Copies of this chain bind each other. A is one copy, B any other.
Amino acid sequence: MSSAGNVIPLREAAPGGTVTIRLPGPFEMWHGGILPEVRLACETWGKLNAARDNAVLLFPGLSPGPHAASSAENPTPGWWEYMIGPGRPIDTRHYFAVCVNSLGGCFGTTGPASIDPHTREPYRLNFPELAVEDIAASAHGAVEALGIERLHAVVGASLGGMAALAYAMQFPDGLDDLVAISSATRATPFTIALRSLQREIIRNDPEWRSGFYAPGKGPREGMRLARKLGLVSYRSAVEWQQRFARERVKTAAEEQTPFGIEFEIEAYLEHNAQKFVDCFDANAYLYLSRAMDRFDAAEHGGTVEAGLARIQARRTLVIGVETDFLFPMQQQEEIAASLYSLGRNVTFVPLASIHGHDAFLIDRERFAPVMARFFAEA
């Protein structure tokens, strides 16, 4: 794959900013489909050095886009603001950080809402089957397009952690270091149950119209309720006990609506679910969600262990969170133990955070020192 002519040049004057990278030629999907063209929305921070060996690839989770941190171009705080920047754990005075928006998603990357060049219509459900491996391979294409042969590190949490593992299995020579946070080598039936139910709630909304909703429209109620279920699974009972306990809302919607909002926790869910509805394409959500269910490291070698054996990272950091019941600590232990038994240099850090699966987004106090040390020791 050649990168010639495919890079929208990074502005030297403004470190950080948005680039859209078009991959050269058709893109072959993991399960056999083909995308005639792929555009990837990316953001970058810091500068690629002359040796081109200081790049850190970040994979987002299921719902965020590529805006992981603020930049001169976009000063809005990103989803991993505390992690990326000058003097931060991924220190952009030294590292060139790149966040590639997931293939199959929205936010400017090719996905089910994109126009199929063959039909001039949105792909919708004609988008080919998506795998986590496609997210990894398309990001690899972006990395090549940026003229990077080998990454200093690949980092991801949640779906991003699955993608980071996939990247390291698919392109074993493509990275020095690997960071997998609250990730999984394969989905458990418990998480399949939750995601399957989210998808069914979305599909059950008549406005989904079997995927044929008008652009910008769609199953808003289904997305809102599915997002609430997501939120329930992303945090922890302990955090909510401390934060909300049994506080009532000041003006109970119950007074207007039978069975309406009465407790603060219900208002919190409603507020956060509403924010999500307006910014995520429903079909993209369905594709990404199912890709998580189907991800299985065993596809890389017959067994999970054989799949992980493909990983050749010089160092691997595995982080788990005690209160995460979606990607539980045991799954992180298993990844670390497998790599250790294969003779790899692996550091396993269990964190006693109360913030559940989302801890990497919130618990700066626990995550920042662990990440800073790992990157400083490189």
Q: Write the residues of chain A forming the contact surface with B, with a CB cutoff of 8 angstroms.
A: 125, 186-194, 196-197, 199-201, 203-204, 210-211, 221, 225, 228-229, 231-232, 236-237, 240-241, 243-246, 258-259, 261-266, 269, 286, 290, 293, 296, 325, 328
* Interface class of chain A by DSSP: helix
A196 to B286, CA, bound (A): 24
The 10 closest A-B pairs by CB, nearest first: A190-B237, A189-B265, A189-B240, A189-B244, A196-B266, A197-B228, A193-B232, A193-B265, A192-B263, A199-B259
Q: From A237, which residue of chain B is reached at the shortest CB distance?
A: B190
Listed residue (A194, A201, A203, A262) with the most chain B CB atoms within 10 angstroms of its CB = A201
Contact, CB under 8 Å: A193 / B269: yes
Q: From A262, which residue of chain B is reached at the shortest CB distance?
A: B293
Contact, CB under 8 Å: B193 / A266: yes
Contact, CB under 8 Å: A188 / B237: yes
Contact, CB under 8 Å: B190 / A204: no
A42 to B159, CA, bound (A): 50
With A186-B246, A187-B246, A197-B269 known, 5 other A-B pairs at CB within 8 A are A192-B246, A193-B232, A197-B225, A210-B258, A229-B229
A286 to B262, CA, bound (A): 14
A204 to B207, CA, bound (A): 13
Listed residue (A189, A228, A229, A241) with the most chain B CB atoms within 10 angstroms of its CB = A189
Residues of B within 8 A of A191 (CB): 237
Contact, CB under 8 Å: B201 / A201: yes
A114 to B93, CA, bound (A): 71
Contact, CB under 8 Å: A258 / B225: no
Given A296-B246, A325-B325, A240:B188 Cβ within 8 A: yes
Residues of B within 8 A of A125 (CB): 258
Residues of B within 8 A of A201 (CB): 201, 225
Contact of A192 among B229, B259, B265, B286 (CB under 8 A): B265
Measured between C-beta atoms, what is the minimum distance from A186 to chain B in Å? 6
Residues of B within 8 A of A296 (CB): 246
